[in-house]
Amino acid sequence: MDRALKVDLKKKVRGIKTIEQKTINSQDKQNQLVYKYCQTIRFALQDDGRYPLNPGGLQLYSRLRTVQQSIERNIKLRPNAELQKLFCLLSILDELKPRYQQIKRFYKWIFRVNRILRQNKSKKYKKSSTRVEADLLLCFDDLLVVYRRCSKDRLIFENILKFMVSYWEGLFYHYGRSEVPRTNNDLERFICRLKSGFRRTVGRASCQGFIVRYGAYVVLLDEGLS
């Protein structure tokens, strides 16, 4: 949903090219201001965000809304034809506002889950796996309430609940165990470091006989032990 919002925003806002070309070499201060706005919009379009926790659609909408509000203030102070065209171009934000608000509402739950799972990252506020699991269980219960109440959004909340259930068993192992990677990416980097160290030590290209992987578990084999 967020990607679809981002695509629709980019599709409409790319119309700034015509306005940009008209104002790029102008010596008029107002047209120079319009050109700067165009450059700001172009910069915003280039940042695609990073999923899952930096959604590009929400980010782009928010930045374009800030630009639109700034343009509106300038139009009231010093009306300009090109500035007015740019403002009209950004009216797509008003059309897409319901979708933005809906996605933002869903993402609040994802951010809440993330905050709960990150509690142990700060040394000052370290919590046990039992405590983190209890906090996430409260969030899960709140999600169930919303899921039962909001029939039109039920599919979205069902998706979030389904993922939470499928990952639940393995979410809490790393709390209190510094040697256990926190995420799949951390696990991949951990295995990569092991492989590099093995190759440097024994001079072999293949590590297949040295590392056995099974889901979240890694077994290191030592040929010297028998």
Q: How far apart are CA 115 and CA 117, in angstroms?
A: 6
User: For residues 23 and 84, is the Cβ–Cβ distance under 8 A?
Assistant: no
Q: Write out pLDDT tens, residues 70-94.
A: 999 998 888 888 889 899 999 999 9
What is the SS3 assignment for 55?
Answer: coil
pLDDT tens per residue, range 32-84: 888 999 999 999 998 888 888 899 999 999 999 999 999 999 988 888 888 89
Q: What is the pLDDT of residues 152-175, one digit of tens each?
A: 888 888 988 998 899 888 888 778
Identify which has the larger pLDDT, 212 or 129: 129
Q: Is pTM beyond 0.85 here?
A: no
User: Which residues fall within 8 angstroms of residue 145, CB to CB, at 6 or more apart?
Assistant: none
Tokens 């006989």 found at? 209
Nearest alpha-carbon partner for 71 in 58, 84, 89, 60: 84
Look up residue 116 and give its two tokens: 């709960």
Tens digits of residue pLDDT in 119-132: 765 555 556 888 88
